[in-house]
């Protein structure tokens, strides 16, 4: 049933021209997907998809369309080429599904080979109830390391493309401008001042509780970043920058990656392979717990800081564009 | 330490990247990246030696045995490719600071080096791993850093080129992800060695067929095989010159490695070539690519675009060699992997030097450059001769092996077409040579000096390597041959 | 057979809608949205594979015997991160393109580029 809703939303995305509505629909798509994922028993994934697909992704797109325009042009070229590609690809995929094990069947190959050891033995080998965390943080820790590096790369890429050097005197001028605007949002400001500490606390809870329930470094990082982003949206980018400045946040993102990698190096120095947590302590369960704790911390640091870097850079670019427009209009009036 | 070399190969540039971000001065970041790349090169040499003496190296990450953990698996093929990537990376980095001083704003230099190290990490990670999903993760690392690096070019077309590359590249990567998922569903494992043992039982199912097609299409997008090559010319032409020099010699090589790895080691060459008419398709697409790209190259006035199209043509040669499906054919492809890296990095580095002095790379700026920048132009000429396949250069060696492999199987019409392709190469190389040596500099252009040593040293190291490996072919040919034989399961 | 595979077929439809949006639309932001839709559908596909009838979320508890497969969950967590990373990069490119070209429609950008190429060629002959 949920899937039918997804299809409806997707088709609506195709047909609508107002980009604001389209971005909102994309957010809805993400949320519906997250709900579907919960029904599929993928709670960690649903958590992440909700935070990312319905949260961060929608937010970034809104910031961008505020800079690039709200409407799409009518000309939709190459529909025939697109239909051709889509029909061939879709047809091939459906052809491929004909031999697949039926949905939900318990004797499919994937449930009997690698996965059974994870389910049956992970308690003795790692001692963590959330199997997804034990696979992510221990068995396949290196993939997660790659994932942290991916998000780090995206942060650096956004830095490379959008960052502008800040001059302090601009900050003070635009600060007062922002304050006058934001006084209109008095209720939101007061409510968020109450909520933000709880959001931060929730982020910490998710970070450390990831072993026992859905959660972990990535989700925690996104929630932590959302609190900071909420603060900066309501109180102005400049004040937020005074609290968390650019060099500091870049440093934290680098530290996250290095922390993760150092756990691996520590394993090598203690005699095991890279990311072998068993050698980190005398008792292998303690070693596993220690390793998982540290790397999740690394993930949380990097993810939170990269999300903040990305948002600050997008918002900062927008501020620059607005300032240039104001100066341009002023010059036009003068001449 | 020796036992941990496989993981060190990737960890060195990986951990160096965040450290590089924190360095404040551009010179320091450059020196740091150069040292890290050099160390990675050293590790790859040690790995190659180890593989040659003791056979396949297997490293369990996390101490968990495959397929429950991720395995790094190094055999002759990837040791060979690792050597090429790290060598090119170090050589190109040598000129990097000089080159980007004129093409990128100083405040972004440290970010540039961080992205460079991340790109290197991604490529090395793809090549070393023995786990299919790990390939996807590191493929994305290398792709994301590539999109950012290309977009740092100072022409606004770099932004558009990077965006198009992003769209096409992400579709390709998602196709690969779909293929991995389908393979996983039918076998229950992600480890390449394990997959190769479990796939034969389910090989005749439609799902595995679909998985194979999706993976091949995804890899071909990254490979820039005709007709999926549309992103490459603009991306190479408008990126910062040093970035082009690095990518032209490494990015597509990694894609060819993936193609070979999936068709030979995971699916098995008997399956891969029978399930779909891979031989005919790839031979045809390779040849079409050679001709269309070489012809497009002839009409370009932007020299970087010219050589970018030339790269697409060279990829066509590699794919033709792969499609022959014999030890000799695969040897020719791997040999050309090595040789093309040497040729193209030398040419694009020389173009970077020209860009440094001239400010752009339009053909009309090259008038009389043969006299004003003699060493740089001479390098381009030798590189061009190598592309054509003149004896005494590495290009000749590759073409020779390719032609003999074709004739061995009786494909002499294709061999004739390959020779025709070389004639097209002569045409576009001659265009440049004629303008540089036989035309007077245009009246309104200021005279330029020769390129600084920072460029000349790596350029000429590569050119001398071009000639050296064209004469003493033992290292490259043996390496390629042993890798090819091991993939076919033939003992030397 | 229809019911057994129905889930997968709908997901394929979703994937194809996403792919269609990427190729057919000229607006750069719509393309990015199409790409995210495509990727999210692939995630749903993987997770559908992992579901076991009568199973629950893979968090060990004493009274549960049947769990759904945790491995695809791990893979998709990573893939989601990769997806947002790509989206962030793509969006920053769009911002820069808008500043440089003044437009985010593919045709207008292509037109401006062709104009430059013409000018460069004519510059040569002039």
CB pair distance less than 8 Å for C78 and B160: no
- Note the ipTM here: 0.92
The verdict on A179 and A66 lying in the same domain is no
Kindly tell me if the per-residue pLDDT of A164 is higher than 90: no
Q: Which of B137, B167, B174 sits opposite C42 (nearest CB)?
A: B174
Higher pLDDT among residues B309 and A281, named by residue:
B309
Q: What is the average pLDDT across B85-90?
A: 93
Residue A178 lies in a domain: yes
Nearby residues of B67 by Cβ (< 8 Å), 6 or more positions away: A113, A114, B189, B190, B191, B194
- Beta strand B57-60 with B71-74: parallel, antiparallel or unpaired? antiparallel
B313 touches chain A (CB under 8 A): no
CB-based contact, B39 to chain A, within 8 Å: no
Find the CB nearest B167 among C31, C79, C116: C31
Do A194 and A286 lie in a common domain?
yes
Chain A residues close to B131, C-beta within 8 Å:
143
B-chain residue closest to A154, CA distance = B144
pLDDT for A115: 78
> Which residues does chain A have within 8 Å of residue C73's beta carbon, measured at their own beta carbons?
42, 44-45, 132, 135
Q: What is the average pLDDT score of chain B?
A: 88
Do A151 and A45 lie in one domain? The reply is: no
Chain centroid to Cα B137, Å, comes to 19
Q: Considering only alpha carbons, which residue of chain A is nearest residue B204?
A: A99
Clarify whether residues A65 and A159 are in a common domain: no
Pick the range with the lowest mean pLDDT from A1-5, B395-399, B406-410, B451-455: A1-5
pLDDT band at C3 (very low <50, low <70, confident <90, very high): low
Q: Which range scores top for mean pLDDT: A247-261, B60-74, B445-459? A: A247-261
- What gap in Å lies between CA B151 and CA A57, rounded to an integer? 22
- What's the gap in Å between the CA of C123 and the closest CA on chain A? 30
pLDDT reported for residue A176? 46
Q: Which residue has the higher pLDDT, A214 or C92?
A: C92
Q: Minimal Cα distance from A89: which residue of B?
A: B214
Residue B14 has pLDDT above 90, yes or no: yes
Question: Do the chains contact at B301 and C121, CB–CB below 8 Å?
Answer: yes
Instruction: Return the residue of C nearest to B141 by Cα.
Output: C82
Q: Which of B167, B174, B185 sits opposite C49 (nearest CB)?
A: B185
Asked if A183 and A324 sit in the same domain, the reply is yes
In tens, the pLDDT along B154-198 reads 888 899 999 999 999 999 999 999 999 988 888 888 888 888 888
Question: Average pLDDT, stretch B387-395?
Answer: 86
DSSP A184: G
pLDDT tens, C20-57? 888 888 888 989 999 999 999 999 888 888 887 777 77
CA diameter of chain B: 72
Q: Do A57 and A135 fall within a single domain?
A: no
Enumerate chain C positions whose Cβ falls within 8 A of a Cβ in B.
Answer: 19, 22, 28, 31, 35, 38-39, 42, 45-46, 49, 71-72, 75, 78-79, 82, 85-86, 89-90, 93-94, 96-97, 100-101, 109, 113, 116, 120-121, 123-124
How far is B280 from chain A, CA to nearest CA, in Å?
20
Return the residue of C nearest to B67 by Cα: C71
Percent of chain B's residues with pLDDT above 70: 99
pLDDT of C123 reads 62
The pLDDT value given to residue B491: 66
CA torsion through residues A9, A11, A15, A20, sign? positive
Do A129 and C20 lie within an 8 Å CB cutoff?
A: no
Contacts 24+ apart (CB under 8 A), A316-319: A316/A162, A316/A163, A316/A164, A316/A166, A316/A237, A317/A67, A317/A162, A317/A164, A317/C95, A318/A63, A318/A66, A318/A67, A319/A174, A319/A237
Give the count of domains, chain A: 2
Nearest to B4 among A154, A156, A268 (CB): A268
DSSP-derived 3-state class of residue B71: strand
A104 domain-assigned: no
Across the interface, of B108, B140, B185, the residue whose CB is closest to A150 is B140
- DSSP readout, B325-391? -SHHHHHHHHHHHHHHHHHHHHHHHHHHHHHHHHSS-BGGGGTTHHHHSHHHHHHHHHHHHHHHT-T
- Measured between beta carbons, the chain A residues lying within 8 angstroms of C69 are 110-111, 115
What is the C-alpha separation between A148 and B14, in angstroms, rounded? 11
Last residue of a domain, one of A38, A57, A72: A72
Write down the mean pLDDT value for chain A: 84
Contact assignment for A77 to C59 by CB distance below 8 Å: no
Question: What percent of chain A shows pLDDT beyond 70?
Answer: 92
pLDDT above 50 for C62: yes
Contact of B189 with A113, CB cutoff 8 Å = yes
Contacts of A129 in chain C (CB under 8 A): 59-61
**Which residue is closest to A264 within chain B, CA to CA?**
B62
Give the residue with greater pLDDT, C126 vs A213: A213
Q: Does the distance separating the beta carbons of A158 and C89 come in below 8 Å? A: yes
Please indicate, yes or no, if residue A101 is contained in any of the structural domains.
no
Question: Are the C-beta atoms of B95 and B116 separated by less than 8 Å?
Answer: no
A177 C-beta neighbours (distance < 10 Å), count: 15
Residue B67 preceded by cis peptide, ω within 30: yes
A51 is in which domain, residue-wise? 1-72
In contact, B371 and B383? CB cutoff 8 Å = no
For the record, the structure tokens of B148 come out as 């950012």
Would you call A160 and B11 a contact, using CB atoms and an 8 Å cutoff?
Answer: no
B202 min Cα distance to partner chain C (Å) = 17
What pLDDT does A74 receive? 63
Residue B492's pLDDT is what? 58
pLDDT band at B15 (very low <50, low <70, confident <90, very high): very high
Residue A105 within any structural domain of the chain:
no
Indicate the residue among A29, A56, A72 that finishes a domain.
A72
Helices B109-128 and B132-151, packing angle to 10 deg = 160
Q: What angle do CA B419, B422, B428 make, to 5 degrees?
A: 155
Q: Interface partners of C (3+ CB pairs, < 8 Å)?
A: A, B
Those residues whose C-beta lies under 8 Å from the C-beta of residue C115, and which sit 6 or more positions away, are none
Q: What are the angstrom distances between the C-alpha of B26 and each of B32, B111, B349, C94?
A: 10, 9, 20, 28
Query: What is the value of pTM for the model shown?
Result: 0.93
**Chain C residues whose beta carbon lies within 8 Å of the beta carbon of residue A94:** 9, 12
Query: How distant is the Cα of B355 from the closest Cα of chain A, in angstroms?
Result: 22
Residues A195, A309: one domain? yes
The verdict on residue A109 lying in a domain is no
CB contact under 8 A, B68 and A95: no
Chain A residue with Cα closest to B110: A160
Burial class (CB in 10 A: 0-12, 13-18, 19+), A110: buried
Domains and CATH numbers, chain C: 2-51+67-125 (1.10.287.3510)
Closest chain C C-alpha to A143 CA, distance in angstroms: 8
Q: Mark yes or no for CB contact B15/A258 under 8 Å.
A: yes
Instruction: Return the residue of B nearest to A266 by Cα.
Output: B62
- Asked if the C-beta of B148 comes within 8 angstroms of chain A's C-beta atoms, the answer is yes
Pair A203, A305 in one domain: yes
Which chains contact B through at least 3 pairs of Cβ atoms less than 8 Å apart?
A: A, C
Residues A162 and A66 in one domain: no
Query: Are A293 and A204 in a shared domain?
Result: yes
A95 versus B143: the higher-pLDDT residue is: B143
Does the beta-carbon distance from A115 to B188 stay under 8 Å?
A: yes
- Asked if C78 lies within 8 A of A14 by C-beta distance, the reply is no
Tell me the chain A residues in contact with residue B14 when contact means C-beta distances shorter than 8 Å: 149, 257, 261
Shared domain for A159 and A294, answered yes or no, is yes
Distance of CA A34 to the CA centre of its chain: 14
Tell me: the pLDDT tens digits for A106-156?
667 777 777 778 888 888 888 888 888 888 888 899 999 999 999 999 999
């Amino acid at each position: 049933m949920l899937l039918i809703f997804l299809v409806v939303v997707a088709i609506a995305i195709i047909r609508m021209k107002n980009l604001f509505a389209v971005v909102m629909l994309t957010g809805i798509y993400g949320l519906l997907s997250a709900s579907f994922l919960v029904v599929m028993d993928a709670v960690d994934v649903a958590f992440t998809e909700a935070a990312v697909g319905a949260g961060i992704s929608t937010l970034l797109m809104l910031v961008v369309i505020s800079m690039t325009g709200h409407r799409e042009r009518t000309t939709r070229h190459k529909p025939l080429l697109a239909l051709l590609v889509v029909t061939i690809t879709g047809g091939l995929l459906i052809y491929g599904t004909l031999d697949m094990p039926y949905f939900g069947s318990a004797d499919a190959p994937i449930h009997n080979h690698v996965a059974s050891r994870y389910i049956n033995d992970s308690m003795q080998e790692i001692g963590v109830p959330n199997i997804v965390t034990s696979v992510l943080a221990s068995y396949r820790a290196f993939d997660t390391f790659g994932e942290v590096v991916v998000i780090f790369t995206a942060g650096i890429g956004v830095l490379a493309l959008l960052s502008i050097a800040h001059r302090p005197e601009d900050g003070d001028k635009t600060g007062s401008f922002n304050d006058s605007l934001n006084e209109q949002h008095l209720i939101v400001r007061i409510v968020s001042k109450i909520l933000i500490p709880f959001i931060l606390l929730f982020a910490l809870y998710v970070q450390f509780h990831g072993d026992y329930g859905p959660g972990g470094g990535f989700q925690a990082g996104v929630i932590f970043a959302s609190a900071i982003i909420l603060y900066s949206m309501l109180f102005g980018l400049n004040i937020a920058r005074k609290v968390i400045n650019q060099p500091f946040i870049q440093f934290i993102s680098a530290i996250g990656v290095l922390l993760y990698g150092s756990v691996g190096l520590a394993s090598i120095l203690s005699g095991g392979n890279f990311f072998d947590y068993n050698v980190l302590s005398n008792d292998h369960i303690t070693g596993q717990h220690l390793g998982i704790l540290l790397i999740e911390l690394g993930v949380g640091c990097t993810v939170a800081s990269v999300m903040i870097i990305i948002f600050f850079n997008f918002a900062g670019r927008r501020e620059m564009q607005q300032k240039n427009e104001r100066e341009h209009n002023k010059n036009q009036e003068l001449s | 330490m020796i036992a941990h070399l496989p993981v060190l190969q990737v960890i060195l540039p990986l951990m160096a990247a965040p450290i590089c971000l924190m360095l404040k001065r551009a010179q320091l970041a450059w020196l740091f990246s150069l040292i890290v790349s050099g160390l990675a090169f050293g590790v790859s040499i040690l790995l190659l030696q180890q593989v040659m003496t003791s056979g396949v190296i297997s490293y369990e990450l996390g101490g968990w045995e495959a397929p429950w953990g991720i395995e790094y698996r190094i055999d002759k093929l990837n040791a060979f490719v690792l050597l090429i990537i790290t060598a090119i990376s170090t050589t190109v980095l040598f000129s990097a600071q000089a080159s980007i001083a004129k093409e990128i704003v100083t405040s972004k230099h440290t970010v540039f080096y961080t992205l460079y190290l991340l790109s290197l990490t991604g490529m090395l990670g793809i090549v070393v791993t023995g786990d299919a999903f790990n390939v996807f993760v590191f493929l994305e690392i290398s792709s994301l850093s590539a999109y950012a690096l290309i977009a740092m070019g100072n022409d606004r077309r770099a932004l558009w080129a990077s965006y198009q590359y992003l769209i096409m590249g992400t579709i390709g990567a998602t196709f690969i992800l779909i293929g991995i998922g389908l393979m996983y569903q039918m076998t229950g494992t992600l480890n390449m060695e394990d997959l190769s043992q479990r796939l034969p039982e389910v090989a005749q199912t439609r799902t595995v067929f679909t998985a194979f097609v999706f993976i091949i299409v995804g890899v071909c997008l990254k490979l820039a095989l005709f007709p999926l090559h549309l992103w490459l010319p603009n991306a190479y032409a408008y990126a910062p010159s040093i970035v082009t020099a690095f990518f032209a010699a490494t990015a597509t090589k990694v894609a060819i490695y993936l193609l070979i790895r999936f068709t030979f080691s995971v699916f098995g060459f008997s399956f891969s070539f029978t399930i779909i008419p891979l031989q005919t398709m790839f031979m045809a697409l390779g040849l079409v690519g050679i001709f269309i790209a070489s012809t497009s190259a002839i009409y370009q006035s932007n020299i970087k675009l010219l050589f970018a199209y030339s790269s697409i043509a060279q990829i066509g040669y590699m794919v033709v060699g792969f499609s022959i499906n014999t030890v000799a054919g695969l040897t020719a492809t791997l040999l050309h992997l090595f040789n093309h890296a040497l040729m193209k990095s030398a040419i694009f580095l020389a173009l970077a030097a020209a860009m440094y002095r001239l400010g752009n790379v339009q053909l009309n700026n090259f008038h009389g450059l043969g006299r004003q920048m003699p060493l740089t132009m001479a390098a381009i000429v030798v590189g061009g001769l190598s592309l054509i396949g003149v004896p005494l250069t590495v290009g000749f060696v590759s073409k020779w092996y390719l032609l003999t492999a074709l004739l061995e199987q009786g494909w002499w019409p294709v061999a004739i077409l390959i020779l025709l392709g070389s004639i097209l190469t002569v045409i576009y190389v001659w265009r440049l040579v004629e303008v540089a040596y036989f035309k007077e500099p245009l009246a309104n252009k200021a005279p330029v000096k020769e390129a600084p040593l920072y460029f000349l040293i790596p350029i000429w190291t590569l050119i001398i390597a071009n000639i050296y490996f064209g004469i003493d072919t033992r290292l490259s040919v043996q390496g390629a041959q042993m890798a090819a034989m091991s993939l076919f399961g033939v003992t030397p | 057979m229809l019911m057994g595979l129905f889930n997968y077929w709908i997901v394929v439809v979703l994937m194809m809608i996403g792919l269609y949006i990427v190729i057919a639309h000229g607006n750069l932001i719509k393309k990015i949205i199409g790409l995210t839709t495509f990727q999210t559908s692939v995630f749903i596909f993987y997770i559908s594979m992992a579901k076991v009838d009568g199973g629950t979320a893979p968090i060990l508890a004493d009274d549960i015997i049947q769990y759904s497969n945790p491995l695809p969950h791990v893979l998709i967590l990573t893939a989601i991160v990769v997806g947002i990373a790509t989206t962030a990069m793509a969006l920053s490119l769009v911002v820069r393109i808008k500043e440089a070209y003044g437009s985010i429609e593919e045709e207008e950008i292509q037109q401006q580029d062709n104009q430059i190429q013409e000018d460069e060629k004519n510059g040569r002959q002039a």
